[in-house]
Amino acid sequence: MIGLLNKSLDKKENIMIYYMDSKGKVSQRIIRVVDIDDVKVLAYCYYRKQVRSFKKDNILSCGQLKRGA
């Protein structure tokens, strides 16, 4: 997972994540990573249309987007 997050950061590629918020609600987000530290991922979230902070521990999974989709 960390490899894909780093690839999004380095190549400015969009990826999809499944994220669980503090209330336990799971959402699917398309993001582009802006920065990564030990605890969180800072990324532009296309759902919210703004830069958001995501706790690494709350990212359930991530994957590449299909080309042309």
Q: Give per-residue pLDDT as tens, 32-67.
A: 999 999 999 999 999 999 999 999 999 999 999 987
Domains of the chain, start order: 2-64 (2.30.30)
3-state secondary structure of 55: strand
Q: How many CB atoms lie under 10 A from the CB of residue 48?
A: 10
Phi, psi of 5 (to 5 degrees): -65, -45
* pLDDT tens digits, 8-30: 999 999 999 999 999 999 999 99
31 phi/psi in degrees, rounded to 5: -135, 165
Does residue 62 contact residue 4 with C-beta atoms inside 8 Å?
yes
The tokens for 61 are 């999974």
Partners of 36 in beta bridges = 41
